[in-house]
Amino acid sequence: MRLTWTTATETGNAGFRVQRKAGGANDGSWTTVGSLRGRPAHLPPQAGRHGRQQLFKRGVKEAELLSTYPNPAQQQVTLRYAVPQRQDVKIHLYDILGRRIQTVVNGERKGRHERQLDVSQLASGVYFLRLAAGGKTRTQKLTIVR
């Protein structure tokens, strides 16, 4: 089997570590099955929900949405994002019609962050998380299933 991918917005990757997990989503432990070597990283690895770890060589250049999981979701999602410096960062949740449902983040300090978002009261459907900072926006699709 051959595994390939590209990064959407991430830069400065020192390498990737591919891991697999035996058992179900909540069972078993992760085992490294391969890696792409790079220069030593000085930031902690960022783990994706499918066992891929991303190693960063340097800090964040611009605000970005890193990952949101699980997706699709039922009750709660974990939103991961990064901010290069303290700035006016806003992350809003929108429905498919473009109506703002919720403000998730309003201002943030420098660094990588993780927030839990309760989606248990949302109807099934497609939603969008939109990060706005430094005159730029990033959007991620989020699917809610019941």
**103 bridge partner residues:** 92
Stronger pLDDT, 43 or 4, i.e. the higher one: 4
Cα 104 to its chain centre, rounded Å, is 14
pLDDT per residue as tens digits for the range 71-127 = 999 999 999 998 888 888 999 999 999 999 999 999 878 888 999 999 999 999 999
pLDDT per residue as tens digits for the range 31-49 = 777 777 544 444 455 555 5
Q: 19: part of which helix (H) or strand (E)?
A: strand 13-21
| pLDDT of amino acid 33 | 77
Res. 61 pLDDT band, cuts 50 70 90: confident
- Tell me the C-alpha distance between 85 and 76, whole Å: 28
- Tokens 């960062």, residue located: 89
All structural domains of the chain, each given as residue ranges with its CATH number in brackets, are 13-56 (no CATH), 64-144 (2.60.40.2550)
